[in-house]
Structure 1
Amino acid sequence: MIVGTAGHIDHGKTALVRALTGIDGDRLAEEKSRGITIELGFAYADLGGGGVTGFVDVPGHERFVHTMLAGAGGIDLALLVVAADDGVMPQTREHLAILDLLGVHRGIVALTKADLADDARRAEVTAQIAATLAGTGLAGAAVIPVSSLTGEGIATLRDLLAVAEAETTARATDARFRLTVDRSFTLKGAGTVVTGTVQSGRVAVGDGVTVSPSGLTARVRAIHAQNLPAEVGVAGQRCALNLAGDGITREAIHRGDVVLDPALHAPTARIDAELTVLGGEPKPISTWFPARLHVGAAETGARIVPLGGPIAAGARGMVQLVLDQPVAAAVGDRYILRDVSARRTIGGGRFLDLRAPARRRQTPERLALLDAAARPDPAAALAAMLEVPPHVVDLDGFARDRGLSAQAAGALAEGAVVLVAGSRLALSQTAHRGLVAGFADTLARFHEDNPEMQGMGHERLRLALSPRLPKDGFAAFAAARIAAGAAVAEGAFLRLPGHVVRMSEADEALYARILPELTGEARFRPPRVRDMATEWDVPETYIRRVLRMAARQGRVDQIRQDHFFLRATTAEMVRIIAEVQAAAPDGWVTAAAFRDRVQNGRKVAIEILDFYDRHGVTLRRGDLRRINPHRADLFGG
């Protein structure tokens, strides 16, 4: 169990931790000389249950609230400290508000310096504490009078902490590993050491890890878990990791960095989140409101963009946080916002989407998606997200941003349809059935309206369907429909298996007249459209329309505005380029060498080569070309 202290300056937090553990949390000379905690202090003790409880002693001074926030993340129980002589003070209330916003709802109140108060004063302050806690997550918490000087109440408090430790539920260790760094230092003979709380998963000696957001990679050389040497560190423990790797130094790793499973490294600077604004905020939170964001032990500047209009004091709403610097975070992480002068806490909440869009962020569809993503259970969130537009979820990104293990991510997909593209895309069964039906219906209507065309372009078809898949997802879906025999691919077009391209009788008659002009010895230098139009006294636009129709059917290819070649000739010329390339000493084809093989003019030869360049059949370097082996069969060559 991790216990975090909270409370006003000079209310005896450090002395209380020392009385409970025998360890002085103040470790800096300045702290000892001034008698206040400036940096985080740590202490460990066996409270009698056989386990080791970690104590995080945080500063109470208003100037060091940002340091308090660095230690508040990941605690299991709050030890709220209120001095009997002072009572509830400003930092008591701010710390309490922060704990509430961070979702810390287990706690005990230590009424310190009890030796300075009589029974009446104790009763008065106890009532004040109860009123302050009312309406918060710590409402009803036990209040224990203690004195670090006389020892009064220390044993009782230790017993209560032991009971709380026994009731602490172990955090899931089957998630991927994340540790928030609150200290980085160098140990002589060991090297770089970082300390922090393990937020999820487990780490073992020898594991490879990544420091995020910097992206430095490291190996874990040694581990101390709850201040004891260990082979493994698990979620809920305070751990010290001895790291080794290129660039791994004390200066390279900062408070707020996260040491994590390499699969989770995906920093973000734009996050959609829930925000609860504290009741004392003087003005509603409006667009581009500046603030300081605290998440884990990280701190950075942020701009707040409310997604449903300004958020008044005491209210809750959806916001987008645009950060000055990327942070390493996870969906569900709790955060705090303070004003830019660091004098007050504005509010806080939890992250909902780490890949927030910069545009169309306030549409009803987007807000519905965030409502679905807000469900704390990943399976419930995924199911809800699949029921609202766009009805498609990047399953790999969903699992990564929630820190889920590969096994947990696989279990999430049960009951959904998964398309494997660049990543795995999940659709609900209902959405997939609609997509399959829409695919067939859209192609059928297109064939009915355009009988002369060979099929519908991939991109046009993708944009016509709902749900609209990303390009790589649609490619995977189309490939599945083709494999199932429900569609046929012809170049850049898709058609239904039974579709046969048709031209009118008059169009077919004109094409039959054109065909001899494109074959035989003259196939590499066919007449231009305007030449045929002049010779036959047929409108040039009519001839060009029929040839373009034939091109859509895959019979011919339009090399330039006025030049059409038979598809068989187009394929043959690809083979000729390959032969010229094979015969060239340097393996590159010149326009002159190609011109000589097809016995054409230089201008037309270059037009033909440019055509292949545009389609990726040839790769160009200056005036030289060679066949692209990945596209050589585009025209059947």
Structure 2
Amino acid sequence: MHVVASAGHVDHGKSTLVRALTGSDPDRLAEEKRRGLSIELGYAWTALPGIGDVAFVDVPGHERFVATMLAGVGPVPVAMLVVAADDPWMPQAAEHLAALDALGVTHGVLVVTRADLADPAPALARARDELARTGLAGVPHVVTSAADAAGTSALRAELGRVLAEVLAGVPAPDPTADVRLWVDRRFHVRGTGTVVTGTLPAGTIHQGQVLHGPGGEVRVRALESLGRARTSVTGVARVALALGGRVPDAVGRGSALVTPGAWLEVDVVDVALTGPDLDRLPERPLLHVGAAQVAVHARVLAPGLARLRLDHPLPLRVGDRAVLRSPGDRVVRGVRVLDPRPPELRRRGAARTRASDLMTLDGSSGADLALRGLAEETLLRRAGLDPDVVPEGCVRAAGWLVDPEHAASVRRRAAEVVAGSGTAGLAPAALAQRLDLPDPAIVEAVGVPGARLVGGRWSAAADPVLPPHLQAPLEALLPELSGFAAPTADRLRELGLDTRALATLDRAGALVHLGGGVVLAAGADDEALARLAELPAPFSVSSARTALGTSRRVALALLGHLDRTARTVRLADDTRRLRPPR
């Protein structure tokens, strides 16, 4: 099934178009009939040749019902923007278009109605100009009127072409995805009990399935789609779920029914914003996501980045699209969730640092891990990230994932802690606690250079054993390792020290291999970090090279090593800052 949302100003003919396309009336409430405008979301459906079933969500155009409109367009990928030839461009049309753009809707059809009442050219030109500034720029258009059968046929054809483009260019929804159904209507049917409706974007709902909602779990006693009873429905689909008689009062418009245990219920999120005035936000805007509307406290972290504190928790994931709306000035901004489990901002300057961190997030597990260092696999999955797609070198242990750079940092710190523990050594749990790690198995998986686990305790190895063929080259090399001067590649080749040999000496703690054939004396990286801490942050490669009194070759290799071991953070402009100790 495909779902198309109509949008546009009140009384511009949206419901009439849907009626002409489907033969069904989307305005079904008595109050809607009496007042002649859509108040609730209306639904009707038809079949298009080569496409299949298409459900239309007819959203209200009146300004008092904008929240209902946002509930209707939220989960759909295709829009039908309707403007009337005999009316000027209206504020609700502008607000609907801004919402569609904010939600990332890029497929649709522009429809100019009432072409029999006025010249449609001015309305078409104005609408084209407005769309040109959005993701709907260049969409096809149709000019028609209520009694124009040819116009209706042309509209059906254009919708078919647009939906074919969606089929060809947009990945099909995953039928095995976790269910999240935003409820947009709740009502009672005699003999059936409570019924809720919504648009299922992905996943599958089965008859008898248990879903989690506010107030507890509910069971799907029966389900229906496109007016027919079903035993299961797979997204994308319009669905009605019969939940029986005992349904928590909190399950209603704006709530979500989800796969139990698969989602994070969050009340603080860090987001990216699009739209006007991104350097300042109203203190109490409204967040619209799915069919939910919740007031939030907004804090700007940097232009285009903000932290939102929700008045009540919602099931949100990385990449979710939403709308931030200021009812007072009717400004609409787009929202994309970057992090649904952000850290607290406690220290002075923490907001600026957090903004820099958020700029590194690209919606992948790898970027999330690089920022956090380590994360539970189940938590990553519930946040909307794939724990099976991680960078090479990631360490897995006891349900945790450790980023390669953080793993290197853990190895280094573990070796230091064990070396300072004396002959008694440390129990695995004690070492994990000293390293601020949640599970001792992580230490064992990462490894502790120069140490071994004997008798249930980590202790320093008495004498790191080097292969005999490396002892003489090392003795010849050590006097040449002074400060931050590194031997040349020719000198290393002369001593017979290739990449594998240097890695062996690095693991034994005999020297520091920075990669690319650049080696320094053991502990030189720690000394470099102390000198870099005296520089104003962020600092450039040039200022780091000057502070260390070394060549650009060594400075670049050393900074790369400090990045990989999670002691410095490389920023977008190639400057760096020290990462606070974990």
When normalised by structure 1's length, the TM-score is 0.66
SS at match of 1:175: coil
Matched, 1:435 2:410: yes
- 1:564 match: none
- 1:347 match: 333
Matched, 1:397 2:362: no
Matched, 1:172 2:187: no
SS at match of 1:116: coil
SS at match of 2:110: strand
Can you list the C-alpha shifts for 1:192-241, whole angstroms capped at 9, x where unaligned? Answer: 22111112211222222111xx1521222222233332222222111112
Distance in 1 of aligned mates of 2:340 and 2:203: 20
Query: Aligned in 2, Cα 1:458/1:367: closer, same or farther, shift over 3 Å?
Result: farther
Pick aligned residue for 2:201 from 189, 192, 199 = 199
Give matches, 1:156-167, under 5 Å. Answer: 156-167=154-165
Distance in 1 of aligned mates of 2:103 and 2:51: 29
Can you list the C-alpha shifts for 1:339-389, whole angstroms capped at 9, x where unaligned? Answer: 254x513412111111122324945653344233333xxxxx11223334x
- 1:486 match: 452
Give 1:51 shift: 1.5
Q: Which amino acid aligns with 2:129?
A: A
Can you list the C-alpha shifts for 1:152-171, whole angstroms capped at 9, x where unaligned? Answer: 41010011112223333322
- 1:476 match: 441
Distance in 2 of aligned mates of 1:367 and 1:487: 41
- 1:224 match: 224
Can you list the C-alpha shifts for 1:515-545, whole angstroms capped at 9, x where unaligned? Answer: xxxxxxxxxxxxxxxxxxxxxxxxxxxxxxx
Query: Aligned in 2, Cα 1:106/1:218: closer, same or farther, shift over 3 Å?
Result: same
Distance in 2 of aligned mates of 1:369 and 1:226: 45
Give 1:92 shift: 1.0
SS at match of 1:385: helix
Distance in 1 of aligned mates of 2:150 and 2:112: 11
SS at match of 1:487: strand
SS at match of 2:116: helix
Give 1:135 shift: 2.0
SS at match of 2:34: helix
SS at match of 2:413: helix
- 2:475 match: none
Give 1:398 shift: 1.4
- 2:289 match: 295
- 1:112 match: 113
Query: Aligned in 2, Cα 1:488/1:76: closer, same or farther, shift over 3 Å?
Result: same
Give 1:457 shift: 8.0
Verify the 8 A CA contact 1:197 1:238 in the aligned structure 2. yes
Q: Which amino acid aligns with 1:345?
A: V
Give 1:77 shift: 0.7
Give matches, 1:50-61, under 5 Å. Answer: 51-61=52-62
SS at match of 1:52: strand
Give 1:99 shift: 0.3
Larger displacement relative to structure 2 (57-66 or 23-32):
23-32
Q: Which amino acid aligns with 1:6?
A: A
Gaps of 5+ in 1: 312-316, 376-380, 500-637
Q: Which amino acid aligns with 1:419?
A: A
Give 1:489 shift: 7.3
Verify the 8 A CA contact 1:487 1:497 in the aligned structure 2. no
Distance in 1 of aligned mates of 2:409 and 2:286: 45
- 1:91 match: 92
Can you list the C-alpha shifts for 1:587-614, whole angstroms capped at 9, x where unaligned? Answer: xxxxxxxxxxxxxxxxxxxxxxxxxxxx
Verify the 8 A CA contact 2:210 2:217 in the aligned structure 1. yes
- 1:63 match: 64
- 2:319 match: 332
Query: Aligned in 2, Cα 1:147/1:340: closer, same or farther, shift over 3 Å?
Result: closer
Give 1:125 shift: 1.8
Pick aligned residue for 2:307 from 299, 308, 320 = 320
Query: Aligned in 2, Cα 1:410/1:295: closer, same or farther, shift over 3 Å?
Result: same
Verify the 8 A CA contact 1:84 1:112 in the aligned structure 2. yes
Give matches, 1:557-576, under 5 Å. Answer: none
- 1:419 match: 397
Q: Which amino acid aligns with 1:319?
A: A
Distance in 2 of aligned mates of 1:59 and 1:125: 21
- 2:480 match: none
Q: Which amino acid aligns with 1:432?
A: A
* Higher Cα Rg, which structure: 1
Distance in 2 of aligned mates of 1:397 and 1:215: 22
Verify the 8 A CA contact 2:263 2:316 in the aligned structure 1. no
Query: Aligned in 2, Cα 1:457/1:307: closer, same or farther, shift over 3 Å?
Result: farther
Can you list the C-alpha shifts for 1:611-635, whole angstroms capped at 9, x where unaligned? Answer: xxxxxxxxxxxxxxxxxxxxxxxxx
Distance in 1 of aligned mates of 2:176 and 2:43: 27
- 2:19 match: 18
Give 1:301 shift: 1.0
Gaps of 5+ in 2: 464-582
When normalised by structure 2's length, the TM-score is 0.72
- 2:83 match: 82
Identity of aligned residues (%): 38
SS at match of 1:98: helix
Distance in 2 of aligned mates of 1:28 and 1:299: 22
Q: Which amino acid aligns with 2:394?
A: A
- 2:271 match: 273
Pick aligned residue for 2:300 from 300, 303, 306 = 306
Distance in 2 of aligned mates of 1:127 and 1:481: 63
Give the aligned CA root-mean-square deviation in angstroms.
Answer: 2.8
Pick aligned residue for 2:183 from 153, 176, 181 = 181
Distance in 2 of aligned mates of 1:164 and 1:488: 67
SS at match of 1:285: coil
Query: Aligned in 2, Cα 1:394/1:459: closer, same or farther, shift over 3 Å?
Result: same
Verify the 8 A CA contact 2:263 2:383 in the aligned structure 1. no
Distance in 2 of aligned mates of 1:318 and 1:220: 39
Verify the 8 A CA contact 1:215 1:265 in the aligned structure 2. no
- 2:530 match: none
Larger displacement relative to structure 2 (364-373 or 13-22):
364-373
Verify the 8 A CA contact 1:276 1:349 in the aligned structure 2. yes
Query: Aligned in 2, Cα 1:415/1:24: closer, same or farther, shift over 3 Å?
Result: farther
Distance in 1 of aligned mates of 2:459 and 2:239: 60
Give 1:63 shift: 1.0
Query: Aligned in 2, Cα 1:386/1:154: closer, same or farther, shift over 3 Å?
Result: same
Pick aligned residue for 1:454 from 402, 424, 431 = 424
Give 1:38 shift: 0.9
SS at match of 1:373: coil
Query: Aligned in 2, Cα 1:177/1:218: closer, same or farther, shift over 3 Å?
Result: same
Give 1:323 shift: 1.1
Matched, 1:385 2:349: no
Can you list the C-alpha shifts for 1:131-154, whole angstroms capped at 9, x where unaligned? Answer: 111121111111211112343410
Distance in 2 of aligned mates of 1:349 and 1:252: 25
Larger displacement relative to structure 2 (139-148 or 75-84):
139-148
Verify the 8 A CA contact 2:187 2:196 in the aligned structure 1. yes
